[in-house]
Amino acid sequence: KVEKLKKLKDLPATTPDGKKVMLAANIGTPKDVKSALANGAEGVGLFRTEFLYMDRTTLPTEEEQFEAYKEVVEKMEGKPVTIRTLDIGGDKELPYLDMPKEMNPFLGYRAIRLCLDRTDIFKTQLRAILRASAYGNIHIMYPMISSIEDVRKANIVLNEVKAELDKEGIKYDKNIKVGIMVEIPSAAVTADILAKEVDFFSIGTNDLTQYTLAVDRMNEHVKDYYQPFNPAILRLIKFVIDAAHKEGKFAAMCGEMAGDPLATVILLGLGLDEFSMSASSIPTVKNIIRNVEYERAKEIAERVLNIAEAEKIQKMMEDIIKDIE
């Protein structure tokens, strides 16, 4: 089976009736590009940039960041690379930043909130990303967006940085796509509004599940409450994908669910355009997509949306993919 999956590397993720989706990799450092390409990733759907900031005593310089981003896009040879701006806070602290002690760090000062407060940090990162965009195909993605104001404020900073680069005569991709993570319920529920202001969505099911079901994604004691297949999550996903498509934008997913074989047929049927996952999951997901008719996936997704229990949905999906060799 492993051999068979390896042969899929250069084949497209297309259903037998011709629906093509994009399978991309989540990466955490430039080193991960090798495995992404080896597994047939058509792009990087999530480049987590936290590694640049962690395990050190000072902020990374613009130059250091630029080198890391450039290395990734160059190695991806023109394939799209979605760079997520800093998502620190929550569980990930930076000792040198003197972050506030918080009662609820996951509901607190993190990610885009920190960046909009510390625009010095944000601007340095955006400069590095924009400069690297001259060397390949980069998309910018903001994490933890909760409202349209977040998007607008972030874009104001982005435009300031672009103007600076213009003034300095530094090249960057003037048409760079800017999207957001949809991982907070308020963003999912207002996806129709947000879709007008962004180029794409990427659904972060890890946090979306945590926040929608009010269950700590890391807490062993409540792990049974953490249900990505809960109807609440599936309905939100459907709404977000439909909202993107109504505005002619694309809908990606970069949470763990995108690489879960039990979710593949449902997400395909809901119309997800891009699945981004850990590289090693790509062959399995691709194999499912290449063996399920899109028309059938749509019917299955519709049926699933009428099932009340997460467990029942998972059982049904196990049965459906059982026959795929």
Positions touching Mg ion (CB under 5 A) are 183, 204, 207
Under the criterion CB under 6 A, does residue 270 sit at the interface with ligand PEP? no
Contact assessment for residue 272 and residue 24, using Cβ atoms and an 8 Å cutoff: no
Contact assessment for residue 185 and residue 165, using Cβ atoms and an 8 Å cutoff: no
Output the CA angle 304-309-313, nearest 5 degrees. Answer: 40
Q: Which of 15, 205, 227, 287 binds ligand PEP (CB under 6 A)?
A: 205
Nearer to ligand PEP, 8 or 267 (CB): 267
Residue 82 phi/psi, 5-degree rounding, is -95, 110
| Interface positions, 33-62, toward ligand PEP (CB under 6 A) | 46, 48
- Alpha-carbon distance values, 265 to 51, 260, 300, 312 (Å): 33, 10, 8, 15
Query: If binding means CB under 6 A, how many residues of this protein chain bind ligand PEP?
Result: 10
Give the shortest CB-304-to-ligand PEP separation in angstroms. Answer: 20
The 8 Å CB, 24+ separation contacts for 255-260 are 255/183, 255/203, 255/204, 255/205, 255/206, 255/207, 255/208, 255/209, 255/228, 256/205, 256/206, 256/228, 257/205, 257/228, 258/45, 258/203, 258/205, 258/285, 259/285, 260/228
Give the shortest CB-206-to-ligand PEP separation in angstroms. Answer: 3
Residue bearing tokens 């796509």: 177
Considering just the CA atoms, what is the radius of gyration of the chain in Å?
19
Nearer to ligand PEP, 188 or 320 (CB): 188
Under the criterion CB under 6 A, does residue 206 sit at the interface with ligand PEP? yes
Under the criterion CB under 6 A, does residue 89 sit at the interface with ligand PEP? no
Give the shortest CB-296-to-ligand PEP separation in angstroms. Answer: 27
Give the shortest CB-137-to-ligand PEP separation in angstroms. Answer: 20
Q: Which does 42 bind (CB under 5 to 8 A by kind): Mg ion, ligand PEP, none?
A: none
Under the criterion CB under 6 A, does residue 263 sit at the interface with ligand PEP? no
- Alpha-carbon distance values, 233 to 38, 64, 203, 207, 238 (Å): 32, 38, 11, 11, 9
Nearer to ligand PEP, 65 or 209 (CB): 209
Q: Which amino acid is at 261?
A: P
Nearer to Mg ion, 164 or 216 (CB): 216
Among candidate residues 144, 140, 97, the one with its CA nearest the CA of residue 118: 97
Under the criterion CB under 6 A, does residue 278 sit at the interface with ligand PEP? no
| Interface positions, 69-88, toward ligand PEP (CB under 6 A) | 87
Q: Which does 255 bind (CB under 5 to 8 A by kind): Mg ion, ligand PEP, none?
A: ligand PEP
Give the shortest CB-209-to-Mg ion separation in angstroms. Answer: 10
Under the criterion CB under 6 A, does residue 207 sit at the interface with ligand PEP? yes
Give the interface with ligand PEP as residue ranges (CB under 6 A): 46, 48, 87, 183, 204-207, 254-255
